[in-house]
Structure 1
Amino acid sequence: MSRLAEGLRFMATALRSCRRVALAAVAFLILGPLTAGGARAADRSVTFAHQDMVIPFRALMASGVLEKATGYTVNWRKFGGGGDVIRAMASGNVQIGEAGSSPIAAAASQGLDIQLFWILDEIADAEQLVARDGGGVASVANLRGKTIAVPFVSTAHYQLIAALAEAGLTQADVRILNMRPPEIAAAWERGVIDATFIWDPVLARVKKSGTVVVSAGDLARRGKATFDGLIVDRAWAAQNRDFLVTLVKLIAAQDAAYVAKPWAADAPEVAAIARITGSAQAEVPASLAAYRFPTLEAQASPAWLGGGAAKALTETAEFLKAQGRVQALAPDYGRFVTGAYVDAARK
């Protein structure tokens, strides 16, 4: 009897083993192998590149709600500018990233296989050209011969060149330095730059000893609108649709909560934003108020993902090509914009 029992146990083990092999084979045929470009169900993780813009999304990042709602491990990585984010995504090390409309247009022009799927903010007055007090700069035209710092291929860079052209100046009439936000803050403190087109938290610092000459909002009202958006690697997005739908739902809810009742300086959300961005907590409410945050419904409208964003990317790319920042234009910038995840979230 003992030999019979032992034989039966061996047969049962063998059958279980065969069943596991068969199931694994079926799973392989249905799901395919794990790839570097995207995570399968077994690899529920994502690297998310963010910047230091002062927006309600930072409070969501700090809360851990996204991780709890999706079951994903989110590796948050902070970058100094949109150009750095684009390079990280091109390397394959980042799946989702924050970037302004200018670096997104540059990435699309260079053929990076990405999709813009959410408008984080309309920049409005959140980016401004500030000139040092005592430098004799009362208008953009007064910048002739001055040294101006700005992160290249950023929305602020796009707006700076547009402002100079509007005032009848060329890039040869000024000295433009390519600097990341922390470098601009340091250069301002040392007195080696006369002006900068920048966003918070650096904007708040330079305004203490400088005067606003023009804002992105002023230029937007004259036809040069800019925005910050979320972009995703197209292949990764196709394999992680539910994560992206949940993400846009949560961002929309966080933005709506802020708009319905803007946070005071002592709010825990403001403390989280200050910690992530490096802003002074007391300055965060004013920084938040400088942006506009499209609702879930507005995201899907012709103004944004329904057509307006593709138009803005096209116009920005044309500007970048004229400036020699990109070599060629993409045939269709609408290919790099999708409203699919917003549409799913609305349902």
Structure 2
Amino acid sequence: MFRRVLAAAAAAALVLTAAACGGDDDTAASGGKPSKIVIGYQQIPNGDLIVKHNKWLEQAFGDGTTIEWKLFDSGGSVNEAIQAGSVDLGLVGSSPASRGISSGIKYRVPWIFDVIGEAEALAVKGGISDVSQLKGKTIATPFASTAHYSLLAALQKAGLDAKSVKVIDSEPDAILAAWKRGDVDGAYVWNPVLAKLLADGGKTLVTSAELAKEGKTTYDLAVVTDEFAEKYPDAVKTWVAQQDKAVKQIKSSPDEAAAAIAAELSITPAEAKAQMDDLIFVDAATQAGDEYLGKGLPDNLFATAKFNQDVGQITTVRDEKTYADAVDSSFVK
């Protein structure tokens, strides 16, 4: 709780420096091109890290635009930064995106980084072989994340609720430290931390890929503030084009893609490639269809909001059209 209070205080302070974002008039370069774009990223083995490592955005925008990358631990933290006005574009999971839309954050989804498969899972220590055995155990996960959402879905399926399991809020790096100290019995988290837990004797109890088969699909999504998207639509198109380039590299030159991701995560290319294989990547042309940005994702965000309300994570669910309107397929088209 104390960490969340600090985060909220920091977010409030960031409002004072919001002028650093590209959406502000005083930072706009001539010709409607932003002089600065602030991007909130996470250490997830997907195309965003390829774009960052290869400096494709810097090359695409040229000297007239500064690209600032800010690292965040989870989608909940990215939401806080966007509310504070300190980020233009960011990576959040589908559950944080759904929460953000439900709470009235003025942003939209222009891109799907990946569909989360086995890259996110519930890892537990020895002696636990079924979710039902988690009663009375301590399980860590970053609150308001896709992992948190999936953990709650897994508990619900097993007939447990968050009160019968000690679910604690912890960011990925802190989860690894708590695991090594023996402070937790398990954790629902994503790669690269998930891989480290499994390498340290953990075993997978349930994956997000398994939950997706039961209608609880999760995604890593891009969000862009409405202000930035409306003021700089060409800049968003340019950003999407670089992300699409990364997806195509993952599919056509996986070794090259893995090398870039490995450098960003300080792991080996082989480890990066294995972690990439646990995610599903979709190019722009496919994302434009009904299965993804056209209908599938809007439906998913609305269903996710209703689930989060059912399990007591949020109090308000907006009308279905609000979630549909928050998904913008115009940029991938």
Q: Which residue number corresponds to residue 46 of structure 1? A: 37
Query: Using the alignment, how far apart are the partners of 1:54 and 1:321 within structure 2?
Result: 30
The answer on whether the counterparts of 2:23 and 2:228 sit within 8 Å (CA) in structure 1 is no
Q: Which residue number corresponds to residue 19 of structure 2? A: none
Asked whether 1:235 is paired with 2:227, we answer: yes
316-325 or 122-131: bigger deviation:
316-325
Asked whether 1:127 is paired with 2:117, we answer: no
Q: 2:160 aligns with which of 138, 152, 169?
A: 169
Deviations 1:206-236 (A, max 9, x none): 0011110110000001111000110000011
Q: 1:339 aligns with which of 325, 329, 332?
A: 329
Aligned-residue CA RMSD in angstroms? 1.7
In the TM superposition, 1:68-107 aligns within 5 A as: 68-71=59-62, 72-107=65-100
Q: Deviation of residue 281 (structure 1)?
A: 4.3
Asked whether 1:206 is paired with 2:194, we answer: no
Q: Deviation of residue 35 (structure 1)?
A: 6.5
Q: 2:227 is aligned with what amino acid?
A: A
Q: 2:133 aligns with which of 123, 136, 142?
A: 142
Q: 1:290 aligns with which of 270, 273, 278?
A: 278
Query: Using the alignment, how far apart are the partners of 2:129 and 2:298 within structure 1?
Result: 35
Q: 1:87 is aligned with what amino acid?
A: E
Q: Which residue number corresponds to residue 185 of structure 2? A: 194
168-177 or 98-107: bigger deviation:
168-177
Q: 2:313 aligns with which of 325, 329, 333?
A: 325
Q: 1:109 aligns with which of 102, 108, 112?
A: 102
**Structure 1: where are the runs of 5+ without partners?**
1-33
Mark the CA change 1:238 to 1:270 in structure 2 (over 3 Å): closer, same or farther: same
SS of 2:227's equivalent in the other structure is helix
Identity, % of aligned pairs? Answer: 33
The number of aligned residues is 304
141-150 or 278-287: bigger deviation:
278-287
Q: 1:309 is aligned with what amino acid?
A: L
Q: Which residue number corresponds to residue 16 of structure 2? A: none
The answer on whether the counterparts of 2:23 and 2:227 sit within 8 Å (CA) in structure 1 is no
Between structure 1 and structure 2, the one with the greater Rg is 1
* TM-score for both structures, normalised by structure 1: 0.84
Q: Deviation of residue 275 (structure 1)?
A: 3.5
167-176 or 100-109: bigger deviation:
167-176
Q: 2:218 aligns with which of 223, 226, 233?
A: 226
**Structure 2: where are the runs of 5+ without partners?**
1-21
Q: 2:153 is aligned with what amino acid?
A: A
309-318 or 321-330: bigger deviation:
321-330
Query: Using the alignment, how far apart are the partners of 1:172 and 1:124 within structure 2?
Result: 27
* TM-score for both structures, normalised by structure 2: 0.87
Query: Using the alignment, how far apart are the partners of 1:328 and 1:74 within structure 2?
Result: 35
Query: Using the alignment, how far apart are the partners of 1:125 and 1:201 within structure 2?
Result: 12
Q: 1:306 aligns with which of 294, 301, 304?
A: 294
